[in-house]
Structure 1
Amino acid sequence: MNTDKIRQDIRGLKDGKIFLNNAGSSLMPSVVVDSMIDYLELEEQMGGYEVANRNSEVLEEFYSETAKLINAKPHNIAFATSATEAFAKALSSIIFKENDVIITTADDYISNQITFISLQKKLNVKIIRMKNLPDNELDLDDLEKLIKEHHPRLVAVTHIPTNSGLIQDVEGVGKLCKQYDILYLVDACQSVGQMVVDVQKINCDFLTATGRKFMRGPRGTGFLYVSDKALKENYAPLLLDMRGADWTAPDDYILFDTAKRFEHWEISYASLAGFTQALKYANTIGMHEIEKYNASLSQTLRNNLQSSGFRVWDLGKHLSSIITFTGPEGDLDAIQKVLNDNSVFFSVTYKNSALIDFTRKNIHGIVRLSPHYFNTLEEIENVSAMLKESLA
């Protein structure tokens, strides 16, 4: 992996910034932006229909590149405008009844939790959260107990929470869901692009991801993986359109065979073209190389912050390229000032986005740094030094 070459492919780095907000919205390679501009210029000249027809084979590469990324087949992949849209469509394909149970965790993404609560309010679906072990890992024995007791309609887990570097044991959960034949939905919006994600090892029925984060694609892009099992059992979104089914009689339709049934007919093909280039870019480098490099950067940064006296809030045996921390007394202001003053890009998460986790940790918020494979060890050391100095 040639970091110098990778950095040359990013026009957004030429003004001297240190970009460490890849868990929010990363910097796109120039090939991603250029492909979108080229596609829009063609639409300007010929209209969207003609351009899509002429580029149909190129547009289909999205499905093969996504499948390659997560060890699936192209027919298992649907384009989405966001991970949240993909998550909602997967949920809408499940016909919940009153008193059905969803088992999830205390570390799920805020939008997912709000969606579950909405189902609880509207359909009287029950939400149960599995326990964590003392080391913050998922308690799989508790999950198995809950499955036996409640016979859930769905188990849903966020692979990496937005508010923590924790990597949850989605493979362990998948083994139990397969054993007990339970539908399994994984939110991988923070893991896809920063580490290897293999749907065959996870054994999930649905997996959702976004383009804008570690995948380094444009906003307004994402994807949904749908397993062969879910497709054969005719899971499909509640509100279909002609992308999902063939209208065969005045009051009937037949579902299409592939995961494209979860798409809507009208999407931004320029965005899809850009996301495809981002997928190609990651696949060319290789996710194993990206994961190894990211692990080195994040471990260095996490260790530096801890040794300097900051409180690092990433708790668990397996940690990702998301580093969350505060000052020694939980303060955030001084950290934000020094990062802003030195053109370091970061984000802040407050308690309302991680209500259960932050209540448990007794904190009101964290600063989040999320290095990626275009960052250098020198940048990590520079940021570590400036933060250490702020405590002096």
Structure 2
Amino acid sequence: MDIERIREETPGTRTAVHLNAAGSALTARPVLDAVVGHLTLESEIGGYDAAGQVDDRLEEGYTIAGRLVGAAPDEIAFTESATRAWDQAFYAVPFKPGDRVLTTTSEYSSSVLAYLQSARRHGTSVEVVPDDGNGTIDLEALERELARGGVRLVSLNHMPTHDGLINPVAEVGALARAHGALFLLDACQSVGQLPIDVDALNVDLLSATGRKFLRGPRGTGFLYVRRSVLPQLEPQVVDLRSADLTGPDGFALRPDARRFESWERSVAGQLGLVKAAEYALDLGLDAIAERVQALAARLRTALADLPGVTVRDRGLHQSGIVTFTHAQHSAHTLVERLAAAGVVAKVSEQTYRYDEGVAPRARVRASVHYYNTEEELDRTVDVLASLL
């Protein structure tokens, strides 16, 4: 991996040590050019004609996004965010009274709100599978709950945003499939950071964002829907992109995953997302994962040597998300002082519903990406050492 070239193509690396890939990673110049170039074209000829000129590229985008996760082009839908992709999938599940939804202790608050609304609306029950000793979902407990029957959906995140663990997704998916439950994966932190194969992971539905490790524009995302489960899923909202009128009293949904798309969308943003996906694929997802995990491991080791610092990451397998606290200084104070020294990290407040017993709730989150350097991580630790 040519880090010097990558950093040259990433203007944000010149102004600060950026350790916030889990929030919003730095955009590469080719992605920026794709977005700005199309906006310029729209200003010259109008949005409709501009979209018409890039029809072939938009169509190619389904193949490129599919390659990111091992999916076919007809199993991909582009959305306005990972949250919108996740919502489209979740709310399309045909829940009935008494259906059970199994989830983890570390779900994002937006997902929890949807679980609770579904319980109120459909009479479903939301049940939390406990963690194992490493902090990831307990597979034995999951299997016991599935064996009880009545589980319509298993829903969890690949990587929580508030610590560095990676859930055992393939094993979860295999158990869900064996018991006839749908499996929805929130992959907003893993797409662009890890190689993903939806078949190997036994995933039925997967949501992803552009702005995090994929390095795409904000306001972009995509949804994967396994072709075999598509017939049982109906979007909560349809328009002329997702369905066709068949007469004065009827309509037909699209036969592919694009039934979850909206007609009105940001074409410039979609082009930027496609370019970001292409950029990641050109670098190689295995190479990206290797570098990200090596940088994160280096940072964890160095942080653990600082007096008073506790690294809070859990899991047997860990991601590029590094979280820590200090015995005397709050996470907010540390992040402010790092920012004053030119290091961008964030406070993770852990706004989740099911992990209330995990403390402290506020941590410093320093999420690395492949464009970071070892020298930047050493500088970050030196800054912290001087502050402490």
Question: What residue number does 1:345 align with?
Answer: 344
Whole-Å separation in 2 of the counterparts to 1:75 and 1:364: 41
Aligned pairs for 1:1-392 (under 5 A) are 1-15=1-15, 17-231=16-230, 233-309=231-307, 310-329=309-328, 331-351=330-350, 353-357=351-355, 359-391=356-388
The aligned amino acid for 2:19 is: L
Q: What CA RMSD, in Å, does the superposition of the two structures yield over aligned residues?
A: 1.4
SS where residue 135 of structure 2 aligns?
coil
1:337 offset after TM fit, Å?
3.4
Whole-Å separation in 2 of the counterparts to 1:329 and 1:134: 27
SS where residue 41 of structure 1 aligns?
helix
Q: 1:329 and 1:122, CA in 2 relative to 1: closer, same or farther beyond 3 A?
A: farther
Q: 1:333 and 1:78, CA in 2 relative to 1: closer, same or farther beyond 3 A?
A: closer
1:383 offset after TM fit, Å?
0.6
1:67 offset after TM fit, Å?
0.7
Whole-Å separation in 1 of the counterparts to 2:192 and 2:255: 28
The aligned amino acid for 1:183 is: L
Whole-Å separation in 2 of the counterparts to 1:327 and 1:108: 25
SS where residue 369 of structure 2 aligns?
coil
- Give the conservation status (yes or no) of the 8 Å contact 2:112–2:353: no
Residues 180-239 of structure 1: CA deviation (Å, up to 9, x unaligned): 1211100000111111121111111100000000010001100000001112x2423121
Whole-Å separation in 2 of the counterparts to 1:379 and 1:69: 28
The aligned amino acid for 2:168 is: D
- Give the conservation status (yes or no) of the 8 Å contact 1:334–1:390: no
Whole-Å separation in 1 of the counterparts to 2:195 and 2:4: 23
Residues 75-98 of structure 1: CA deviation (Å, up to 9, x unaligned): 110001001101111012112222
- Give the conservation status (yes or no) of the 8 Å contact 1:156–1:184: yes
Q: Percent identity?
A: 37
Q: 1:52 and 1:235, CA in 2 relative to 1: closer, same or farther beyond 3 A?
A: same
Query: Which contiguous aligned blocks of 4+ residues in structure 1 show a shift greater than 3 angstroms?
Result: none
1:354 offset after TM fit, Å?
3.0
- Give the conservation status (yes or no) of the 8 Å contact 2:335–2:344: no
1:101 offset after TM fit, Å?
1.0
- Give the conservation status (yes or no) of the 8 Å contact 2:206–2:223: yes
Whole-Å separation in 1 of the counterparts to 2:354 and 2:243: 40
SS where residue 265 of structure 1 aligns?
coil
1:8 offset after TM fit, Å?
0.3
SS where residue 364 of structure 1 aligns?
coil
- Give the conservation status (yes or no) of the 8 Å contact 2:128–2:354: no
Whole-Å separation in 1 of the counterparts to 2:113 and 2:310: 29
Residues 314-334 of structure 1: CA deviation (Å, up to 9, x unaligned): 111111000011102573244
The aligned amino acid for 2:371 is: F
Whole-Å separation in 2 of the counterparts to 1:52 and 1:385: 49
Whole-Å separation in 2 of the counterparts to 1:333 and 1:248: 57
Whole-Å separation in 2 of the counterparts to 1:336 and 1:92: 37
Whole-Å separation in 2 of the counterparts to 1:107 and 1:283: 29
Q: 1:128 and 1:234, CA in 2 relative to 1: closer, same or farther beyond 3 A?
A: closer
Whole-Å separation in 2 of the counterparts to 1:261 and 1:364: 39
- Give the conservation status (yes or no) of the 8 Å contact 1:311–1:330: no
Whole-Å separation in 2 of the counterparts to 1:26 and 1:297: 15
Whole-Å separation in 1 of the counterparts to 2:72 and 2:340: 46
Whole-Å separation in 1 of the counterparts to 2:330 and 2:91: 41
Give the alignment's TM-score, normalised by structure 1: 0.96
Q: Which moved more, 1:185-194 or 1:114-123?
A: 114-123
Whole-Å separation in 2 of the counterparts to 1:48 and 1:331: 48
Whole-Å separation in 1 of the counterparts to 2:315 and 2:385: 24
Unaligned runs of 5+ in 2: none
Q: Which moved more, 1:2-11 or 1:53-62?
A: 53-62
- Give the conservation status (yes or no) of the 8 Å contact 2:135–2:314: yes
1:140 offset after TM fit, Å?
1.0
Whole-Å separation in 2 of the counterparts to 1:246 and 1:177: 33
1:122 offset after TM fit, Å?
3.0
- Give the conservation status (yes or no) of the 8 Å contact 1:42–1:51: yes
1:355 offset after TM fit, Å?
4.5
Whole-Å separation in 1 of the counterparts to 2:134 and 2:34: 45
1:117 offset after TM fit, Å?
1.6
Give the alignment's TM-score, normalised by structure 2: 0.97
